[in-house]
């Protein structure tokens, strides 16, 4: 059973401070009275092993380091220096996203990977589709946006974590999320075979969800045979709603959205002209002085 991992203060790691620079720390095994450094390095992470617990530090550039308590592993000698654990594989995935290293990210994705982001109607299947999604994500993130990992939970080959997106170390609203990853061994290395992503919704209906849920349950109870057919083939409902949107809503919404976008482009252009005029006037005044 998975053990939930709680964040601890940095002082919990035997007085060993986290490096504030971007130099990558090494994998360290803890033995009584001394640390032994192996030749294995982990991107932006340090691992400390004691008799009763494993302390894992996640160091992302520009963020504070938080030691995280992980389930105990069998023995010090069983920690293989040339092999990443499922947790380390997932951490490397986020490190590649933050550092925009698409080539290294490709090596972490399985050929038959299934990526289920609940913001999309259909899951992404296959390495090519998943890598294309991450490539588009990196293009949208720019230079200052990073993923920040908060809580981590591991059970065997499955890793779960919560995260948020930050811009220059400041949390962006409505960007919190929770991810579940399942790793498997392919070609003598661990890769991500399945991922489930749940993102904080932009619209938060609150107690209205309970009222809608009660209504749906009432309909299911009143029409059990029809409900069973719908639940057996939920994609039919999705396709029906998609067709309704394309036939009735898209012709109405598309012109409105296009006009709205053009309006904001015009406003931004006017504001840019005004700023340039003010800068030009200020330069002239400074020259006269």
Q: For residues 169 and 64, what is the distance between their CA atoms, to the nearest angstrom?
A: 9
Measured distance CA(90)–CA(102) in Å, rounded = 15
Structure tokens at 195: 């991922």
Q: How many CB atoms sit inside 10 A of residue 99's CB?
A: 17
The domains located in the chain, with CATH, are 3-199 (3.10.450.50), 208-288 (no CATH)
pLDDT of residue 21: 35
Specify the DSSP element, H or E, that contains 238: helix 234-244
What are the tens digits of pLDDT across the range 159-218? 999 999 999 999 999 899 999 999 999 888 899 999 999 999 888 888 888 998 999 899
- Distance of alpha carbon 35 from alpha carbon 224, whole angstroms: 64
Please tell me the predicted confidence (pLDDT) of residue 82: 54
Bigger pLDDT: 34 vs 248: 248
Rounded (to 5) percent helix, strand, coil in the chain: 40, 30, 30
Confidence of residue 149 (pLDDT cuts 50, 70, 90): very high
**Are 81 and 71 in contact, with CB atoms under 8 Å apart?**
no
235 vs 184 pLDDT, higher one: 184
**Token pair for 30:** 């803890």
Q: Between β-strands 109-117 and 189-199, what pairing exists: parallel, antiparallel or unpaired?
A: parallel
Instruction: Report the phi/psi class of residue 18: left, alpha or beta, with left for phi > 0 and alpha for psi in -120 to 50.
Output: beta
Q: Which of 56-60, 200-204, 245-249, 270-274 has the lowest mean pLDDT?
A: 56-60
CA-CA distance, 146 to 165, in Å (whole number)?
6
For the four alpha carbons of 97, 102, 103 and 106, in that order, the dihedral sign comes to positive
User: What distance in Å separates the CA atoms of residue 112 and residue 257, rounded to the nearest whole number?
Assistant: 37
Work out the angle at residue 69's Cα, subtended by the Cα atoms of residues 66 and 154, and round it to the nearest 5 degrees: 110
What whole-number distance in Å separates Cα of residue 35 and Cα of residue 248? 67
Mean pLDDT of the chain: 75
- For the ranges 29-38, 79-88, 124-133, which has the lowest average pLDDT? 29-38
Q: Are strands 145-155 and 66-70 parallel, antiparallel or unpaired?
A: unpaired
Paired residues of 154 in beta bridges = 3, 159
pLDDT per residue as tens digits for the range 17-33: 344 333 333 333 333 33
Q: Which two tokens stand for residue 36?
A: 């032994």
Measured in whole angstroms, the distance separating CA 145 from the mean position of its chain's CA atoms is 12
CA distances from 138 to 62, 109, 256, 271 (A): 18, 16, 29, 29
């Amino acid at each position: 059973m998975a053990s939930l991992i709680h964040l601890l203060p940095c002082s919990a790691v035997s007085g060993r401070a986290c490096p504030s620079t971007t130099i990558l720390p090494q994998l360290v095994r803890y033995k009584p009275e001394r640390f032994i450094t192996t030749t294995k390095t982990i991107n932006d992470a340090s691992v400390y092993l004691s008799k009763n617990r494993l302390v894992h530090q996640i160091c992302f550039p520009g963020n504070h380091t938080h030691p995280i308590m992980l389930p105990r592993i069998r023995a010090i000698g069983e920690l293989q220096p040339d092999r990443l654990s499922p947790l380390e594989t997932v951490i490397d995935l986020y490190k590649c996203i933050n550092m925009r290293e698409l080539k290294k990210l490709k090596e972490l994705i399985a050929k038959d990977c299934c990526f289920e982001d609940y913001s999309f109607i259909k899951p992404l299947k296959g390495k090519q589709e998943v890598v294309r999604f991450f490539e588009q994500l990196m293009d949208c993130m720019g230079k200052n946006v990073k993923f920040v990992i908060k809580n981590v939970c591991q059970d065997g080959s499955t890793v779960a974590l919560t995260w948020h997106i930050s811009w220059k170390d400041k949390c962006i609203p409505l960007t919190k999320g929770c991810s579940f990853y399942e790793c498997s061994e392919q070609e003598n290395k661990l890769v991500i075979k399945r991922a489930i992503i749940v993102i904080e919704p932009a619209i938060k209906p609150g107690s209205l969800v309970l009222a809608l849920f009660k209504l749906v349950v009432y309909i299911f109870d009143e029409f059990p045979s029809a409900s069973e057919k719908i639940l057996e083939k939920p994609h039919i409902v999705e396709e029906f709603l998609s067709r309704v949107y394309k036939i009735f809503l898209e012709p109405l919404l598309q012109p409105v959205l296009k006009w709205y976008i053009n309006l904001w482009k015009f406003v931004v252009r006017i504001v840019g002209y005004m700023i340039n005029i003010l800068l030009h006037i200020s330069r002239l005044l400074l020259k006269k002085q």
